[in-house]
Every structure is written in structure tokens, then in C-alpha cells.
Amino acid sequence: MTQQTYTLTVLCADQSGLIAAVTGCIAKTGGNILNLAQHTATDLGMFFCRVSFAGTASFTEDLFKETFTKTAEHYSMEWQFFNNTRKKRVAVLVSKTSHCLYEILLKHADEELDCDIPVIISNHPDLAHIATSFHIPFFQVDVAKGKEAYEKDLEVILAQYNIDLIVLARYMQVMTPEFCARWDNKIINIHHGFLPAFKGAKPYHQAWQKGVKIIGATGHFATADLDQGPIIFQDVIRVADTCSVDEFIRMGKDVERRVLVEAVRRYLSHSIFLHGGRTFVIE
Amino acid sequence: MTQQTYTLTVLCADQSGLIAAVTGCIAKTGGNILNLAQHTATDLGMFFCRVSFAGTASFTEDLFKETFTKTAEHYSMEWQFFNNTRKKRVAVLVSKTSHCLYEILLKHADEELDCDIPVIISNHPDLAHIATSFHIPFFQVDVAKGKEAYEKDLEVILAQYNIDLIVLARYMQVMTPEFCARWDNKIINIHHGFLPAFKGAKPYHQAWQKGVKIIGATGHFATADLDQGPIIFQDVIRVADTCSVDEFIRMGKDVERRVLVEAVRRYLSHSIFLHGGRTFVIE
Amino acid sequence: MTQQTYTLTVLCADQSGLIAAVTGCIAKTGGNILNLAQHTATDLGMFFCRVSFAGTASFTEDLFKETFTKTAEHYSMEWQFFNNTRKKRVAVLVSKTSHCLYEILLKHADEELDCDIPVIISNHPDLAHIATSFHIPFFQVDVAKGKEAYEKDLEVILAQYNIDLIVLARYMQVMTPEFCARWDNKIINIHHGFLPAFKGAKPYHQAWQKGVKIIGATGHFATADLDQGPIIFQDVIRVADTCSVDEFIRMGKDVERRVLVEAVRRYLSHSIFLHGGRTFVIE
Amino acid sequence: MTQQTYTLTVLCADQSGLIAAVTGCIAKTGGNILNLAQHTATDLGMFFCRVSFAGTASFTEDLFKETFTKTAEHYSMEWQFFNNTRKKRVAVLVSKTSHCLYEILLKHADEELDCDIPVIISNHPDLAHIATSFHIPFFQVDVAKGKEAYEKDLEVILAQYNIDLIVLARYMQVMTPEFCARWDNKIINIHHGFLPAFKGAKPYHQAWQKGVKIIGATGHFATADLDQGPIIFQDVIRVADTCSVDEFIRMGKDVERRVLVEAVRRYLSHSIFLHGGRTFVIE
């Protein structure tokens, strides 16, 4: 389909006539709605909406933005507008573990992740061969030179490749608060525990020690406060008490890779709204 | 909340401007949208939409219907309009097994099923005490007098209680094609197998014989073609090969009761659309 | 089946020949094994085993115990021996919420919980009618008279009914450390959160605030350290971000009741081993 | 761990003293049991048992087999004995779809599939590059030359690599009854439908047409009767009615790859028993 499509997201206080106003703007400027997902949180008095639409011959981005700006001001809406032709550019950061990287690259190769992946960055050389076999440039950054210097190197690469989103695919380094602030809500991390339980190191060991019967993984935005960023997606798997920690780790890998891809997919489809310190993923 | 709310469902061929037209009608007549769920099946070229809205002071049902009729004609829409104050009246039909009946009555008592349950009907006396303890009239129909005569008795009771929906909660009688036709898409049955596999009698025995590793249940509209009516909801449970058929039956009961309630809940929320011989449940 | 059956549980350090020794004892004394579940935790060097067996004509409990005592001493085994004819006597403690109580009573009525339920105790009168309709004595205890006095009343009732296991079916009172110690590993509580996350009050509110995508419930042994006792069973349910806290509470009820019954079922089948501060449930 | 380990599987009519006899044999010949999984199907009167054990200094395979043969004859047992050092040799057959092949190779590379994979065979050249990147010989067979001739070619390759198990990882060719008979219970196929529903071609299309709410995949032994061989493992995924057939296909891929690997894993751990035309997978 060569037809141009757009996505509009809207977040505001609930009021009468919001959907009619949003859809009216689209219709008036020559847009044809393909999909509308909306949630009115009556307990919060908040309205969340995502609309995808195609442009007919008369539609122009400029006209739409001009028209919608007035509507948005009238209702005090926060809004974002995306031309779906321009794919998001995603950098994948890895350390030594390959399962999450492979999952992202395979899903991307099967056209199941609608983005570009122009670069893979690591603090170790171990996974360079995977990057090579998928024909993606691989950069190794030197963590030993100190957080500040190495994050500066990182920023150079991210800028060079014009990156929109950073995916930490089991990247075993904590970012500085400054880095997190610069990439606010633009870094997705996979934590191998079912947050908010089992923060920090060795979550599978913690889970085993506690004797939990279900383990999980969490895809979340990285923030300065480690493993505390807004949760995007989670999944779990039942474990038997006959499992060792090593089996938790093995079984958890399948959950981690799925959760990370699903979190990234929700980002790419503009499904994630942030309000009151948590996400509202409206699908 | 004493505010009057309404639900509108729309089904038609996909065209430009549908959501704007629908929501515009609501806004124009003084409705305030609470929730809109919509699906455009691009592969089918079909549009499904359900809108719930509250009426402001100026809103009247007559004005809305008059206004919307024109819109609906213009777009060749099939539509239904519900005043949510008028609760659906549900008759529960049972035989000897109690778990599905209990589930419906308990969920209803906890205000989790938004309907009235004015009558319980059975071809056996066994569950009369449950009806009594929930203060609901219980009628026993005599199947021995022949299908025609007994279905006539049934119709008398259903008419007396002004019934909108029949729920077969493990009711072990097949209805005649005539009865099914009169109650088209108004009888919900629970089948204790994961349809379309394991139609007919003793589905758990069939499943065990085949060595399947997952069993399930199906809530569907009853049609003359037994266990072939449109599927509304399904759920499954993993079984071990150490399970006997009796354990399948025991474990399946939890799935059956949950599936039946969820199917009824979807009916009551006007979430079920029928098109091309199957349902589209839009939540 | 009128045949007498027994269950033996064994916990000890892993050593060569354990299963042969255990099963040999049973065979030698005239027992016929029906089911053996065993787990060797190689990482811990521990051996867990549960054997159910039928007694042939020559089998006597006394002979078996005498014979097995020697084996157990030789291998330093902790062991328990149960005559499955003697059903455990379970007291259910409730407050105002009925779904967990109903679930236990309905499963019991359907012969899916292999125990006696001779008494229901509450700190409120609200659920007395349910006890009545299931023909079970109901006692109301007065919490206002102070922890000590009221727990003394409780103990009198528990003693009168010769109770083996206390089930807290959404009983909204914290027990004193003394009471917990007296009933060590004999009180099963249902916590309406996926422990160890969301301890304490209002776990669904905590979960909503945090924006988790999956909620759950935990059946555990009650200890003086609230919501920290060994976990027996857990289950979870996926929630959408369109759910309010009230919907979490509604959806969670189904998880709670299932988890509580499954936890009790594991207790009654002698499947729960305690080691190193956590459970090992060997099924 | 360089210690030699063995696995014994036993299938016979249920009788008194079976476990004591089996474990006694192992103890007597110097074996130390690591794990015993057993199921007595009381409804069938059948006994299934799998024991893994380590050999102490005095243990020899010959002595064990000689000793156990007598026990087996006495109880009319079917049994198999495996030295776990000798890894099964697995040939993977593929066509054009890569997700199942990748899954097997990645799990194998992560040491999660305990076998050798010496060869990949295909009727198309498309996936040769994957074989290359994992350093595994790749053969292309020519189906156009006729079933008989091409299966002869296949047999030559399988013999050359001394293959024990054939895995059809979305291999789009039906085998002849003769081939299936020669490799009876040694060919594992993945069917992209939840058998026994949706046999044959295009199962996702069938499922969509029927409006099922859950789709699945089935790992089974290939037999002459297509998609009817004994089921080894199944899994499912919930689908929304907003999904197109293409989305079913995309979502199903994750289920297929997981199910195939889990089916192979159960084969490799000797967990699959065949009795009465179905499997009993004892884990």
C-alpha cells in the first residue's frame, strides 16, 4: 500500500465532544480514519486517544496541523502527530547475551517491527558476528574510560545514525541520570524480573529464594532511578518448585525476548501514553 | 450514577468519514461519548463500531433516533440503539449440574452481570434449592411430553417473564430448529469442548482419547446445527497426561463457568457483531 | 474404593539409594505404591519425596511405622505418615467478602476438596446465611474485646471442632505472633496481590498506581510477619490499562478464589515441603 | 559433570511392587537415582516410569541390562535404556520459512537442546545461508524427480549422517506411508493448528473463518495419516476478533516455534510414552 498514513495521539482532561472534535478535524481536512482507539478514564477524568488515518488527495500535513492546533488549544490537549512513512530509527545496545538481540533482528527481518535498525552498540565484542550476519554496523564502546567519556562516545554514534529510540537488549550498564534525562522516554529496557518485585541484580535468584511460583520480565522506560521507570509490557511464566535457578534463567529468556519486542512494538505504534508517573498503553 | 446512558452499535461497509458521522450525530443531539470501540476490517472492507454515551439535558431518544436514521440510511448502516437503563431479562436453563448456575447467580449477586434474572427453568428438580436460596422462581418443564408440547410450555414461561436472552447453563436438551429460529442469536450455550474440535457428546472423553494437551470450553449462540453456532468466547486449560477423564471433567468445570459468564457479559455489553457466519466481538 | 490408602512424605539430604530404601520399606510391609512424586534438588543437595500407597491384607500401620523409623534414622529423614481415611478438619475464617468462602464450600460440595469443614468463623455477621444454606455451624467472634481475649475465644471454637487447618478466606484481621506460632504452617491465607510485590493494604491500588500489566494473588502460610509467610500457590491475570482499580478488584476476585482453593488442595494432598524458608510444592 | 548418567523407561500393566522392583535393580547394580517420574493410570491399569540415574564405580551397562532383563520379563515390561552420553543425532528438514529452524538452532547453540544437529535438508535453497552461518551442512533435495526417487535421496543423507530423529520444521512435503513406517515415531512435525481441529492446509484461514478466539499449534509424530499422528505438545494464544488472517499467521509463528522445540525436548528427555494410539508425556 503506497497510501500515506498518519497517526495522531491526544491526551487531555475529559470533556464533552472530544471524539467528535478530533474525528471532525480529520474528516474536514481530507483524512479517512483507519483505526481509532480511545479510553476515557472516568476515575481520573482523563481522555486518551490514538487515531490512524489515510490522507485523501486533498490532505496536507500542514493544513491538518494548522487546523488541529486550534482544536487542541481549545480543549487543552497534549498531542503528537506522526507521518507513518518516516520509520523510527532504533539503536540496539547489547552486552554478551544474544537472545534479545536475535529476537529483535529476526522480528525485524520478518517485517514484524516497523522501524529501521541502523546500528548495534556493545560494551563487549562477543555479539559482533550477529551484527555482521544481519549486515548491521557494530560499534564497541569502552566503558573503562569512565561513564562521562563513554556516554559521550555513545552520543556521537547515536547522533551519527540519527537515532530516535534506544533499546537496551540485556545491556549490562547503568546510564547516568544526565543521559536518561536527555533520552527521556526514549530508552526501553528489559528487566528480567516481574517489577516492582525483584528490582536490581540477580532477580531470578531473588525469585527462587522467595519461592515464587510464577516468574516474569518487564519492558520499561529507563530512568535514573534504576528499574523504576514506567512499565510498558510484562509477561510471566509458571515455574515448578523442581526448577533450579539455572532453569529459571533458561525459561526466563523466552519471556524476556517476547516482552522486549512487545514493548518496542507498542512504542512504534504510538500506543504508549504517560500520565501520573505510569503508562497507559491503549491498543 | 443516575445519569442516563445509551449504547449504539453500527455495522456497515467501510467508507470514508464513518466515525466522524457517527460521533457528530451524537455530539449534535447532546450526547457525551463515554467510550468508543471501533474496528475496521480492511481485509473484509467492513466497519464495526460500538459507542456508549451519556445524554445531556437537551438529549432525547426520539431526536437521536430521528437524526441517526438519516445518517444510517446514507451509509447503509445496520444499527442498534440501547437505553442502558432497561436491563436485559435473562432466563437460565439448567439440568442437574450446578457449577454454571452458581457462577451466574454469584456474579449477578456481586453486580458483575448487568441484567435481571427473573426465572430459572429446568427439566429436573435437582437444582430447585439453589433457585430458592437466591429467591428466584424455579419452573420444571416436562420433556417427556414431547419436544413440541414442552417447548410450548417453555415459551409460556419465557413470555410470562418477558425474557430477552436464554442462557443454557449446562442444559442437557437440544432445542428444535423452530425454537432456535424464534430465538435467533438470543440463546447462549456453553459447550464443554474447544470447538470446532470435539462437537457432540462427551467432549472430554474425545479429548482424552486423542491425547490433546489443552482442553477448553466454548460459549456460543445456539443454532439448529448443534454446537455449530457462532462462537462468542472460549478459554482453555493445560492438562497433564497424568490426568484421567474424570480429572478433565473436574478441571473443565472451572473453564466452563468462566466462559459462560464471559460470553453473557459480552452479550450484555452489546459487544457481539455477527457478519459472514461468525462473530466479531469488539471490546 | 474402600481400600485403605496412606501417604508418606520424606525430606532429607540427598544420598545414594533413597528411593530404593523408601519403596523397599513399603513393598516389604505389604504396601502397593499408587503414586510417587520425587524431586532431587541437586543444587541444594536435598531430596523430597511423597508416596501414596494402598495396604494389602498383611499391611499394618504399626508395622510400617516401626520398619520405616529405622530407615528414616539411618538416612536422617524428616518424615510424615498419613492415613488418608482420616480427613483433615478445616475451619474457614471470613469477614464480609463472600467469593472465597463460596468457592471453598462449592468445591467441597462437589467433592473436590478432600476434607471436612465443620465450622465457619467470622468477625462479622454478614455471611452467616451462606453457612446456614450449606448447613455448617457459624460463629461470630468479637474482635472489639481485644486481641488476646478474642483469640482465646477463637481457640475455644477451634478446639471444640478439633481443627487441623485454618483457612483465612479474606479474613480481615491480623493474628498475633503467639497465635501464628501455635498454628505454625497450619494457617493458609489468601493475599490479593502477587507477593512479594504489593504487601500490606490495598494491593490492587498499589498495582494500579505502579501501572503493572498483570495482577495476581498469593496463597501462603500465615506468619507473624504479615504477608511474608512461605508461598504455596500463585496465579495471575493480564489487565488492560483501560481498567480502573475497581475492575482490578473485580477481576482479581476470580484469581483469589482459585488460588486459595489450589493452595488448600496442595496442603490436603501433602504436597507442600518446607525447607530454607520457602516451600517446595512437589506435585 | 563428567559422571556417566543413564535413563530407563518402563511401560507395563500395573502390578504391586513395580517401583520397588525397578529402583531395587538400579540400587543393586550400583546406580544412584537422580530423578524418577512415574504415573499409574488407574483407569487404564497401566504403569509408566522414567528413571534417570548415575553410575557409581561398580556400575556397568552390561550388568544392569542383564539384571534388569529378568525383572522386565517377570513383570512383562516394555523398556528402553539410554546412555545419556550418546547424544541423539537430529536432522532438520525445512522449506522456505525460517522461524522454526532459527529457534532450533538458537536453542541448540544455547545448550538448551541436548542433541547433535549434523545436517539440514530442504526442498528449496532459501534457507541455506542460515545453515552456513551456524556451520551446519545443508542439502537440497529435488522433489520434482518423484516421491520415491527423492525419498531415496533423503534416506542416503540420513544414513550418511547416522540420524536418529527427523524434525520437520515447517517442511512443506508429505512423506509416503513407507517412509513414515520406516521412521515410525522418529519424525516430529509441527502443525500450525490446534489439532484435532483445523487439519490439513491453511489452518489459520480455517480458524479465522470459524471465528475461534484462541489459536494454537501442535507438535506430533508424523504418520501416514496426515496431521493425525500422536500429539506430543501443544500451545495456544488468545486472538482478538480485530485480527486478520495475516495477524493470525504472524502471532502463530511464536507458538509454532515454541511448540516444536518443546516437543523435541520431550523426545530427547525420553519423556514420551505411546499407549493406545496416543502419547503419555510423563515429565
Question: Which subunits count as partners of chain B given 3+ CB pairs below 8 Å?
Answer: A, C, D
Which phi and psi (to 5°) does residue D163 adopt?
Answer: -80, 140
C-alpha cell at D13: 500393566
C-alpha cell at D275: 499407549
Q: In terms of domains, do D33 and D109 share one?
A: no
| CATH code, D226 | 3.40.50.170
Q: In terms of domains, do B189 and B154 share one?
A: yes
Q: Which of B227, B235, B241, B246 is catalytic?
A: B227
- Cα distance between residue C243 and residue C251, in whole Å: 10
Q: Chain-wide mean pLDDT for chain D?
A: 94
Last residue of a domain, one of B62, B83, B104: B83
Task: Dihedral sign for Cα C154, C159, C160, C166, please.
Answer: positive
Between chain B and chain D, the number of residue pairs with CB atoms below 8 A apart is 91
Give the model's pLDDT for residue B228. 83
Structurally, how many domains does chain D consist of? 2
Residue B34: list chain A partners with CB under 8 A.
40, 42
Residues found in chain B: 283
Contact at 8 Å (CB) between D19 and D49? Answer: yes
**Mean pLDDT value of segment D141-165:** 95
Residue C134: list chain B partners with CB under 8 A.
none
- Of A33 and D232, the structure prediction assigns the larger pLDDT to D232
Give the model's pLDDT for residue B246. 94
**Mean pLDDT value of segment D165-173:** 95
Q: What distances in angstroms separate CA D117 from CA A253, C191, D121, D131, D191, one per listed residue?
A: 22, 48, 11, 11, 21
CB atoms within 10 A of CB B79: 17
Contact at 8 Å (CB) between A143 and A173? Answer: yes
Say yes or no to pLDDT of D270 above 50: yes
Give the model's pLDDT for residue A1. 42
D194 and B195 in contact by Cβ < 8 A?
A: no
Q: In terms of domains, do C60 and C198 share one?
A: no
Q: Which long-range CB contacts under 8 A does C104-108 form with residues at least 24 apart?
A: C104/C167, C104/C169, C104/C260, C104/C261, C104/C264, C105/C130, C105/C134, C105/C136, C106/B98, C106/B99, C106/B102, C107/C261
- Cα distance between residue A174 and residue D21, in whole Å: 57
Give the domain range for residue B159: 88-281
Beta bridge partners of B278: B275
Interface of A with B (CB under 8 A): 16-21, 23-24, 26-27, 32-40, 42, 56
Contact at 8 Å (CB) between A212 and C196? Answer: yes
Q: In terms of domains, do A256 and A182 share one?
A: yes
C-alpha cell at C167: 483457612
Q: In terms of domains, do A69 and A147 share one?
A: no
- Cα distance between residue D276 and residue D281, in whole Å: 13
Nearest C-alpha in C relative to B101: C106
Spacing of C-alpha A56 from chain mean position: 30
D227 as an active site residue: the answer is yes
Residue D56: list chain C partners with CB under 8 A.
16
Q: In terms of domains, do A251 and A112 share one?
A: yes
Q: Is the pTM of this model over 0.90?
A: yes
Give the model's pLDDT for residue A233. 98
- Cα distance between residue A60 and residue A67, in whole Å: 11
Give the model's pLDDT for residue B2. 54
Poorest-pLDDT segment among A256-270, B55-69, B148-162, D198-212: D198-212
What angle in degrees, to the nearest 10, is found between the helix axes of B61-75 and B18-28?
160
Find where cell 476470580 sits.
C254
Q: What distances in angstroms separate CA D279 from CA B194, B212, C34, one per listed residue?
A: 20, 9, 21
Between chain A and chain B, the number of residue pairs with CB atoms below 8 A apart is 54
Q: In terms of domains, do D56 and D94 share one?
A: no
B214 and D216 in contact by Cβ < 8 A?
A: yes
Give the model's pLDDT for residue D70. 96
- Cα distance between residue B160 and residue A96, in whole Å: 72
Contact at 8 Å (CB) between B168 and B90? Answer: no
Residue C98: list chain B partners with CB under 8 A.
106, 110
DSSP string, B43-62: TTTEEEEEEEEEE-TT--HH
Task: Name the stretches of chain A with pLDDT < 50.
Answer: 1
Give the model's pLDDT for residue B199. 81
Give the model's pLDDT for residue A42. 86
Q: In terms of domains, do D107 and D215 share one?
A: yes
Give the model's pLDDT for residue C2. 54
What angle in degrees, to the nearest 10, is found between the helix axes of B99-109 and B245-268?
40
Q: Of A98, A112, A250, which has the smallest distance from its Cβ to D250's Cβ? A: A112
Find where cell 490436603 sits.
C268
The pLDDT-based confidence of D1 (bands split at 50, 70, 90) is very low
CB contact set of A269 (below 8 Å; sequence gap of 6+): A7, A114, A283
D234 and B213 in contact by Cβ < 8 A?
A: yes
Which phi and psi (to 5°) does residue B165 adopt?
Answer: -140, 135
Q: In terms of domains, do B262 and B130 share one?
A: yes
Cis peptide before A203 (omega within 30 of 0): no
CB contact set of D153 (below 8 Å; sequence gap of 6+): D141, D142, D145
The pLDDT-based confidence of B247 (bands split at 50, 70, 90) is very high
The beta-strand segments (E) located in D42-156 are 46-55, 78-83, 88-94, 115-122, 138-140
Give the model's pLDDT for residue D201. 84
**Mean pLDDT value of segment B164-185:** 95
Give the model's pLDDT for residue D2. 54
- Cα distance between residue D120 and residue D109, in whole Å: 15
B20 and A38 in contact by Cβ < 8 A?
A: no
- Cα distance between residue C276 and residue B263, in whole Å: 45
Q: In terms of domains, do B157 and B20 share one?
A: no
Task: Name the stretches of chain C with pLDDT < 70.
Answer: 1-2
CA distance B239 to chain D (A): 10
C-alpha cell at D124: 528449496
C-alpha cell at B99: 457449577
Q: Among residues of chain D, what percentage have pLDDT more than 70?
A: 99
DSSP string, D110-133: TT-S-EEEEEEEESSSTTHHHHHH
Nearest one of D143, D133, D278 to D218, comparing CA atoms: D278
Residue D277: list chain B partners with CB under 8 A.
209, 211
D132 residue type, one letter:
T
- The angle subtended at Cα D138 by Cα D137 and Cα D140, nearest 5°, is 150
CA distance D44 to chain C (A): 13
Say yes or no to pLDDT of D16 above 90: no
Cis peptide before A177 (omega within 30 of 0): no
Q: In terms of domains, do B42 and B93 share one?
A: no
- Cα distance between residue B60 and residue B283, in whole Å: 26
Last residue of a domain, one of B83, B103, B131: B83
Give the model's pLDDT for residue A2. 54
Pairing of strands D31-41, D46-55: antiparallel
Q: In terms of domains, do D259 and D152 share one?
A: yes
- Cα distance between residue D278 and residue B212, in whole Å: 9
A102 and D99 in contact by Cβ < 8 A?
A: no
| CATH code, A72 | 3.30.70.260
Last residue of a domain, one of C83, C109, C135: C83
Beta bridge partners of C231: C220
- Where b means 16+ CB within 10 Å and e means fewer, B114-128 reads ebbbebbbbbeeebe
The per-residue pLDDT for range A14-26, each reduced to its tens digit, is 988 899 999 999 9
